[in-house]
Chain A
Amino acid sequence: MSALESDRDPTQDGTFSVVRQPLHHDSAAKHVTGSAAYIDDMREPEGLLHVAPGWCPNITRGTLTAVNYDKVRAVPGVVAIVTAADVPGVNDCSPSIGGDPIFADGTIEFWGQVVFAVVATSREAARRAARLATFEGAPEKPIITIEDAQAANSHVLPEYRFGRGDVATSLANAQRRLDGRLVIGGQEHFYLEGQVAMAVPGEDGDMHVFSSTQHPTEVQHLVAKALAIPDAAVTAEVRRMGGGFGGKESQASQWAVIAAICARVTGRPCKMRLDRDDDMVMTGKRHDDVASFSVGYDPEGRILATQLEFAARCGYSADLSLGVNDRTMFHADNAYYYPAVSIRSERLKTNTCSNTAFRGFGGPQGVAAAERIMDSLAVLTGLDPLEVRKRNFYGPGRDLTPFSQKVEDNLLPELIAELERSSDYWRRRNEVKAFNGRNRILKKGLALTPIKFGISFTLIHLNQAGSLVHVYTDGSVHLNHGGTEMGQGLNTKVAQVVAEEFGLPLDKVRITATSTGKVPNTSPTAASSGSDLNGMAAQTACREIKARLVAFVSEGYGTPADQIAFRDGQVIIGNGSVPFPEIVKKAYLARIQLSAAGYYKTPKITWNRDTAEGRPFLYFAYGAAASEVTIDTMTGEMKVDRVDILHDVGKSLNPAIDIGQIEGAFVQGMGWCTTEELVWDDRGRLRTHAPSTYKIPACSDVPDDFRCALFESEGTRETTIFRSKAVGEPPLMLGLSVFSAIFDAIASLKPGTVPPLDLPATPEAIMRAVTAMRRGDA
């Protein structure tokens, strides 16, 4: 082990001065003063024009024969109308296999598909004009629901399946069998900052695009493709997003590409910011899904065989649906061992917006199905749901996932035991029973549910990252990396890593906007991978610069390399020390390079999709939550009374930021499970396209008794950045503890009967289940 690593032994606490500290988000003071600039806040370039999308409100699916723009053109301030005919290059902005026209070219595939863009001197003129086109066309009957698509055999991608063992025989031989079905709703991202991009044309046909995107490289590539110019002629940049949650992974591109085409057509800078309603109508959401399952189990509630089928509504195009639905399958076991298993996933094409990445990336649907199986087994065996869960956890000799990766780092037994204690589960279980015995109208439910979430992109090549670190001669450090900041604190964490490496206070490290001009060929900031990948890439760059400095100092001071370290703003040289800036300046004069490009690729991972074999995940992140709810069995209203969370982030890079991620993800997951309901009418028109109709959790939906703690462990087994773990997505699925608690409350109405509760558990969904229980048709 080198000197650099020996004084940073990741298993030793107390040797860290910047990482593992609960530091503020780097932009916190800017957020609270309104000085953090989002794209719409940037100083507007001279001659800026505004772009609004135009679409055909009376066709959900069909052929467009004519569009009349006379009224659009007549609006004062309108400069140009841009359509498919104006795209110099390829009219497609798909992140995957195509099928996402930038502008619909004769064919409409969903209600809200962009047909044209209006460019005007003001945002208001553009938006007003965009509504004035008239359309002629031949509508066809749209395919809207999962059932419609199954009936029409309509798919965006082929089905996929994997598993192990002879499930049919195991099911047949099992003493008991459960058959069930869970309807799982989608979810709108509702990032507070809507989709926005600004394109500024440069010389030689260059285009500089500011985009609120999680994937600047893809924006760069798609702009280049649409404009028929080289990637090198396009720079995509983002300082921060006002939330992303996956909604800006692939679906920020279209708006950036349109802005760039409009800038090309007009020769002027163009900004496109979607109105909230347009944003919700046009962009994809979490996939809604129907999970059907057959489970063979023994009288002790232990699963012997599981057959799971998912039918996902993907919308009109493939987008990221392959990876999303694969991840549903990768998480259909959640934390449970299925001795014999078969998992099938159907990817349905419908005439609705193209469903896309959303925090958890398909995982939540798989986990929801697994948890429904556990809850159902508890009802059928009369065992406590927690007991059923424990009996089915992965464990010694029962450690192989349905996709053949061995579970080697299982923390759940200890973690659950601790949460069981700290949440006082068993005492409260008795209290809930007593309450339900005393009350007819109000019923309580309690559930403790786990998460095991696989970390790594399952598209293996995405597991790489780059960084760029410059040390200037005054000792200040400029940091750039390929990840994007959407509020998750990635920039803060990576800056902490850099500060730690150089032994500098955090304010010596300057965080800069993500730009394809600085770090190329980046992966999206997604899959919870941001700090794992970019933290490592930044560390690599720092260590390269440090190695050069150590060699220089070692030679100059005649001190062995292993006695040189970076700490407290000093370079420690044997028994003495020299301020970091002084060493840096000397190194510069001695012509030592003070800049490095770092690079990292995740080790060990493999995945052969054809044979369904390999190790798609470097490690798993674990957590659990216990939630208690009360429902009103007359109206279906529900209130969450208390939540206890215990979550594993390895050795946290920043406990304050990690707690924020966990709590925020939990509440977002709770929203998905409860109040957030997407409604399309029978014509395929989204009826919930604004916060007035689509209800994300508000402050009062979060219980006052909300306890969240980090699970203390030795840190990640794998060599991750300072032994930390990814945190963005896994805790979202802890929101399912609320859903299970509601199920538990309803189940109390009629022991032995499985409540037919759909997700989200809106008051109406709760009443449907309550009524079915009371009528006896559950």
Chain B
Amino acid sequence: MRDKVRMVRKGRIVEVADAGPTETLLDYLRLRERACGTKEGCNEGDCGACTVAVGEVGPDGRITYRPVNSCIQFVGQVDGKEVVTVEDLAEGGTLHPVQQAMVDHHGSQCGFCTPGIVMSLFALYHDEARGTAPTRTTIDEWLAGNLCRCTGYRPIVDAARAVLAGPPDDQFTRAEAETAGLLQYLNDRSDLFVGNQDAFFAAPRSIASLAALYERHPDATLVAGATDVGLWITKQFRPVAKLIHLGRVEDLDRIEDVGNAVIIGATATYEKALDALDAIDQDIASLIKRIGSRQVRASGTVGGNVANGSPIGDTPPVLIALGATLELVRGETGRAIPIEDFFIDYGKQDRRPGEFVAGLLVPKLALGQVFRAYKISKRFDQDISAVLGAFLFTIENGVIRDARVAFGGMAGVPKRATTVEAKLIGAVPAQASSWHDAFEAMAEDFTPLTDMRASAHYRLETARALLAKALVEAAGASSERTRLIGRRTAAETEVAHVGAGE
């Protein structure tokens, strides 16, 4: 058992013995270090002004930098990691290449979002997969979580393109081996427990010690990425005295291909789960890339998105449509339930005291199955869905033999459209008249609400429109003609075409 949070700052190990369970990394930086370069813009992980880079060492000794919203990240979550802020980049009087590019391209005006943008670009600069000519889509993805109100982004995109034209070369690449050594040293086997039995930040290292700790403290709050729990603290001032962080639990973030299905561990981040889910269907990847921002996806987890029980989480409808199974563990016992059964009612899930989500079993598509998912929001990137529809059609000879249809934003929980599903059986995607009844049945399955994201009327009509879109695409329509964004690659369209039996 260890009772101090440890991290690497500016090439040195820093120990924090008195980190409060919910002390944010941003407050740690601004109030304790008085490192005020990192800004607070919204205090809810949306604007990105507080972005810092968090470095982690992989088994290969390479360091990966993730952009993180420090305003909703607790200090304890960066235990064992390197924290890099905007002040750390320049060497002596020389700006970091990312900083210089931002200056050269007039990428700052008021300058308040700039530190966050610099840090997102810094993380992208060090991303192994970026290449030297990243597409605009890639740059958009990395900047979606950094709002700028002054520039209109064009000069920032230009700066990004310029600095990404070459491989990373800075003091961090030069010090990589040394920093990796420090991180490997910090990456110990012991459980972290800061505080006392009444108030603590704990980060167990194994599933067994997590299960034991949570059984002892079923009133504790479990947190994986804190992209939602962070807001309980910063916005709602909820009293959270006991916090158990899942991020250090070994194997809980595993991604495993088991033949006809994929296992996604509870703490696998969206980023980590992306490729496995993309392999099931590219619409899932397109959708995940629109969840929150790079910052949110680097911390947020698919498991957390489910466990949290929100009616507007983006992955649950997809997982429901795919027929995923949820694995739950309490103490030494486990159980598995169909994921839709987990969502009992608004704010109420089938999770017993002391029980935690261990992982998800997500089936792959079978032959003849067509999957589609669409997210509708006011803004494409980093917005919460007004409506999200996920569709799985099993098609034989051009006729729907089975359908799983699930929506988010249409009820108090992510929910299947069972009447619609029933009426789809026997329908022919290529014949609109054959799915008219299913289309009409949407109103039997859902009575959505009006809120700031959309009216009940729009939600219902859009749910119908998404069903129609999925059917039109299943019948072979090219997404070039049916979608503005998230268009499917040609090869995949052909598969769907074959699946549609045409």
Report the stretch among A81-89, A258-266, A510-518, A684-692 that lies at the interface.
A684-692
A387 within 8 A of partner (CB): no
Report the stretch among B123-131, B153-161, B268-276, B391-399 that lies at the interface.
B153-161
B8 within 8 A of partner (CB): no
Return B2 CB to nearest CB of chain A, in Å: 27
* Chain B residues numbered 153-212 whose CB sits less than 8 Å from any CB in chain A: 153-157
Return A47 CB to nearest CB of chain B, in Å: 16
Bitwise interface map of B from 380 to 409 toward A, beta carbon under 8 Å scored 1, else 0: 111110100000000000000000000000
By the criterion CB–CB under 8 Å, are A702 and B87 in contact? no
Bitwise interface map of A from 654 to 675 toward B, beta carbon under 8 Å scored 1, else 0: 0011011001111110000001
B215 within 8 A of partner (CB): no
By the criterion CB–CB under 8 Å, are A442 and B481 in contact? yes
By the criterion CB–CB under 8 Å, are A190 and B149 in contact? yes
B86 within 8 A of partner (CB): yes
Report the stretch among B252-260, B299-307, B436-444, B457-465 that lies at the interface.
B457-465
Report the stretch among A32-40, A168-176, A422-430 that lies at the interface.
A32-40
B57 within 8 A of partner (CB): no
B38 within 8 A of partner (CB): yes
Provide the residues of chain B in CB contact with A632, threshold 8 Å: 483-484
Known contacts A690-B44, A691-B47; A701/B379 CB under 8 A: yes
Known contacts A32-B103, A34-B87, A632-B483; A693/B452 CB under 8 A: yes
Provide the residues of chain B in CB contact with A440, threshold 8 Å: 481
Known contacts A660-B109, A691-B47; A699/B150 CB under 8 A: no
A700 within 8 A of partner (CB): yes
Q: In the complex, which of the residues A34, A275, A767 contacts B36, with contact meaning CB atoms closer than 8 Å?
A: A34
Report the stretch among A23-31, A215-223, A411-419 that lies at the interface.
A23-31
Bitwise interface map of A from 186 to 206 toward B, beta carbon under 8 Å scored 1, else 0: 000111111000000000000
* Chain A residues numbered 22-65 whose CB sits less than 8 Å from any CB in chain B: 22, 24-25, 27-38, 40-41
Return A769 CB to nearest CB of chain B, in Å: 12
Write the chain B residue with the least CB distance to A245.
Answer: B149
Provide the residues of chain A in CB contact with B108, threshold 8 Å: 25, 27-28, 31-32, 487
Provide the residues of chain A in CB contact with B141, threshold 8 Å: 700
- What's the Cα separation between A632 and B141 when bound, in Å? 22
By the criterion CB–CB under 8 Å, are B118 and A32 in contact? yes
- The count of A-to-B residue pairs whose CB atoms sit within 8 angstroms is 261
Provide the residues of chain A in CB contact with B98, threshold 8 Å: 32
Provide the residues of chain B in CB contact with A29, threshold 8 Å: 95, 99, 103
* Chain B residues numbered 67-102 whose CB sits less than 8 Å from any CB in chain A: 85-87, 89-90, 95, 98-100, 102
By the criterion CB–CB under 8 Å, are A240 and B111 in contact? yes
B488 within 8 A of partner (CB): no
By the criterion CB–CB under 8 Å, are B42 and A690 in contact? yes
B332 within 8 A of partner (CB): no
Known contacts A33-B86, A33-B87; A691/B147 CB under 8 A: yes
By the criterion CB–CB under 8 Å, are B462 and A27 in contact? no
* Chain A residues numbered 744-766 whose CB sits less than 8 Å from any CB in chain B: 762-764
Write the chain B residue with the least CB distance to A708.
Answer: B154
A679 within 8 A of partner (CB): yes
B310 within 8 A of partner (CB): no
A635 within 8 A of partner (CB): yes
Write the chain B residue with the least CB distance to A244.
Answer: B110
B264 within 8 A of partner (CB): no
A95 within 8 A of partner (CB): no
By the criterion CB–CB under 8 Å, are A635 and B95 in contact? no
Write the chain B residue with the least CB distance to A665.
Answer: B152
- What's the Cα separation between A22 and B155 when bound, in Å? 14
A503 within 8 A of partner (CB): no
Write the chain B residue with the least CB distance to A41.
Answer: B36
Provide the residues of chain A in CB contact with B151, threshold 8 Å: 660, 663-664, 667
Q: In the complex, which of the residues B112, B380, B454, B461 contacts A701, with contact meaning CB atoms closer than 8 Å?
A: B380
- What's the Cα separation between A442 and B483 when bound, in Å? 7
- What's the Cα separation between A708 and B153 when bound, in Å? 13
Provide the residues of chain A in CB contact with B39, threshold 8 Å: 38, 192-193, 242
B139 within 8 A of partner (CB): yes
By the criterion CB–CB under 8 Å, are A31 and B114 in contact? yes
Please tell me the size bucket of the interface on B: 35 or more
Write the chain A residue with the least CB distance to B387.
Answer: A635
Return B460 CB to nearest CB of chain A, in Å: 12
Return A641 CB to nearest CB of chain B, in Å: 10
B431 within 8 A of partner (CB): no
Write the chain A residue with the least CB distance to B159.
Answer: A32
Most buried by B among A34, A189, A667: A34
Provide the residues of chain A in CB contact with B113, threshold 8 Å: 192, 242
* Chain A residues numbered 209-249 whose CB sits less than 8 Å from any CB in chain B: 240-245
Q: In the complex, which of the residues A38, A634, A695 contacts B378, with contact meaning CB atoms closer than 8 Å?
A: A695
Bitwise interface map of B from 233 to 262 toward A, beta carbon under 8 Å scored 1, else 0: 001010000000000000000000000000
By the criterion CB–CB under 8 Å, are A439 and B481 in contact? yes
Bitwise interface map of A from 312 to 326 toward B, beta carbon under 8 Å scored 1, else 0: 000000000000000
- What's the Cα separation between A181 and B472 when bound, in Å? 36
Provide the residues of chain A in CB contact with B150, threshold 8 Å: 243, 487, 660, 664
- What's the Cα separation between A637 and B290 when bound, in Å? 15
By the criterion CB–CB under 8 Å, are A696 and B149 in contact? yes
Write the chain A residue with the least CB distance to B454.
Answer: A764
Return B144 CB to nearest CB of chain A, in Å: 5
A72 within 8 A of partner (CB): no
Provide the residues of chain B in CB contact with A706, threshold 8 Å: 152, 154
A698 within 8 A of partner (CB): yes
Provide the residues of chain B in CB contact with A687, threshold 8 Å: 451-452
Known contacts A34-B85, A687-B451; A699/B110 CB under 8 A: no
By the criterion CB–CB under 8 Å, are A635 and B149 in contact? no
Return A772 CB to nearest CB of chain B, in Å: 13
Q: In the complex, which of the residues B42, B110, B148, B454 contacts A240, with contact meaning CB atoms closer than 8 Å?
A: B110
Return A733 CB to nearest CB of chain B, in Å: 14
By the criterion CB–CB under 8 Å, are B43 and A767 in contact? no
A277 within 8 A of partner (CB): yes
By the criterion CB–CB under 8 Å, are A762 and B118 in contact? no
Most buried by B among A630, A697, A700: A700
Provide the residues of chain B in CB contact with A636, threshold 8 Å: 458, 462
Q: In the complex, which of the residues A634, A639, A691 contacts B465, with contact meaning CB atoms closer than 8 Å?
A: A634
Write the chain B residue with the least CB distance to A630.
Answer: B484
By the criterion CB–CB under 8 Å, are B452 and A679 in contact? yes
B327 within 8 A of partner (CB): no
B216 within 8 A of partner (CB): no
- What's the Cα separation between A696 and B40 when bound, in Å? 17
By the criterion CB–CB under 8 Å, are A33 and B381 in contact? no
Bitwise interface map of B from 429 to 457 toward A, beta carbon under 8 Å scored 1, else 0: 00000000000000000000001111100
Return A3 CB to nearest CB of chain B, in Å: 35
Bitwise interface map of B from 478 to 501 toward A, beta carbon under 8 Å scored 1, else 0: 000111110000000000000000
- What's the Cα separation between A4 and B98 when bound, in Å? 42
By the criterion CB–CB under 8 Å, are A275 and B43 in contact? yes
Provide the residues of chain A in CB contact with B454, threshold 8 Å: 764
A74 within 8 A of partner (CB): no
- What's the Cα separation between A485 and B150 when bound, in Å? 13
By the criterion CB–CB under 8 Å, are B237 and A32 in contact? no
- What's the Cα separation between A293 and B453 when bound, in Å? 30
By the criterion CB–CB under 8 Å, are B95 and A33 in contact? yes
- What's the Cα separation between A709 and B143 when bound, in Å? 25
B140 within 8 A of partner (CB): yes
Provide the residues of chain A in CB contact with B237, threshold 8 Å: 127-128, 131
Known contacts A32-B103, A632-B483, A692-B384; A700/B46 CB under 8 A: no
Please give 13 more A-B residue pairs, beta carbons under 8 A apart, in addition to A698-B147, A701-B380.
A32-B86, A190-B149, A635-B469, A636-B458, A663-B154, A687-B452, A691-B46, A692-B44, A695-B378, A699-B139, A699-B143, A699-B148, A706-B152
Return 15 A-B CB contacts under 8 Å, by A number.
A32-B102, A32-B107, A34-B36, A38-B112, A192-B39, A635-B469, A637-B380, A659-B106, A664-B152, A667-B151, A668-B152, A690-B46, A698-B143, A699-B146, A702-B157
Closest 4 CB pairs of A and B: A34-B37, A487-B110, A242-B112, A31-B111
